[in-house]
Amino acid sequence: MKILVAVKRVVDYNVKVRVKTDHSGVDIDNVKMSMNPFDEIAVEEAVRLKEAGIASEIVVFSAGAPQSQETLRTALAIGADRAILVETTAELQPLAVAKLLQAVYQKEQPQLVLLGKQAIDDDSNQTGQMLAALLDLPQATFASKVTIAEGKANVTREVDGGLETITILLPAIITSDLRLNEPRYVTLPNIMKAKKKAIDILKPEDLGVDITPRLKTLRVDEPPKRTAGVMVADVDALLDKLKNEAKVI
């Protein structure tokens, strides 16, 4: 079984995000970048499936700037076999990424596609669902447990009411949630081995995909600073503030 895993290069989750002075977006100059944490979980799950003898090959995919090769090398060091980078400096929105993945899927014909449930930079949570719609394949989102057997995937999903377990036929699309697994530490020998693994570099036009943005960002602002708390004398004073100042009741 071949598995296709999508990964994204994002600002590292430990970095304090800064908004550009012109409010056009987030400042990423001289900022540490890393693999999206949910995508790293997806790569780890694919590697575990291979180690269990269920998967035979893992292909990782990314789209973006040339520096995304570093992110792909990390995925290769975790245990992926080869990588595909669709190189572009244009803004990539979820639908464009889904269409690029659709083209790669049709070329590679994997039996399973794994993605993180969302990227921590835009929090869109759309690419996996859009890809499933474009390919007309079953999907299981927010997965916290995945079991593959007899051409089916049993997936435990994290939903608002708790956990939901569903069974879907392969090929299928699965998006990983935080509790699916804990990614392994990448060792130096594996990092060295990853340097010898192949990365195929393509352009969007090579896949015949139009990545023109459909949405326009008007302005980006930091959230308002949290105001200091105050002490109240009694419950009546608390209720008064909640009703007349906070206006939450």
Domain extents in the chain:
2-219
Structure-token pair, residue 176: 């990983």
pLDDT for res 194: 94
Exposure b/e, 127-140, CB count within 10 A at least 16 = b: bbbbbbebbebbbb
> What average pLDDT does the chain have?
93
Would you say residue 176 has pLDDT above 90?
Answer: yes
pLDDT for res 171: 96
pLDDT for res 224: 83
| pLDDT grade for 247, boundaries at 50, 70 and 90 | confident
Structure-token pair, residue 73: 């090398």
Query: Which DSSP state fits 187?
Result: P
From residue 15, how far is each of 32, 121, 233 by CA, in Å? 7, 11, 40
What CATH number was assigned to the domain covering residues 2-219?
Answer: 3.40.50.620
Q: What tens digit of pLDDT does each residue of 153-172 get? A: 999 999 988 999 999 999 99
pLDDT for res 223: 83
Say if CB 145 and CB 5 are below 8 A apart: no
Q: What tens digit of pLDDT does each residue of 112-158 get? A: 999 999 999 889 999 999 999 999 999 999 999 999 999 999 999 99
Q: What tens digit of pLDDT does each residue of 191-229 get? A: 999 999 999 999 999 999 999 998 888 998 888 888 788
Which range, 25-39, 105-119, 204-218, 226-240, is most confident? 105-119
pLDDT for res 88: 93
From residue 39, how far is each of 60, 75, 76, 94, 149 by CA, in Å? 10, 9, 13, 15, 23
Q: Percentage of the chain surpassing pLDDT 70? A: 100
Paired residues of 240 in beta bridges: none
pLDDT for res 108: 95
18 alpha-carbon distance from chain centroid: 21
Find where tokens 């079984």 sit: 1
Q: Is the peptide bond before 171 cis (omega within 30 degrees of 0)?
A: yes
Q: Percentage of the chain surpassing pLDDT 90? A: 76
Would you say residue 21 has pLDDT above 90?
Answer: no
* Of the candidate ranges 27-36, 53-62, 161-170, the one whose mean pLDDT is the lowest: 27-36
Find where tokens 């990314």 sit: 62
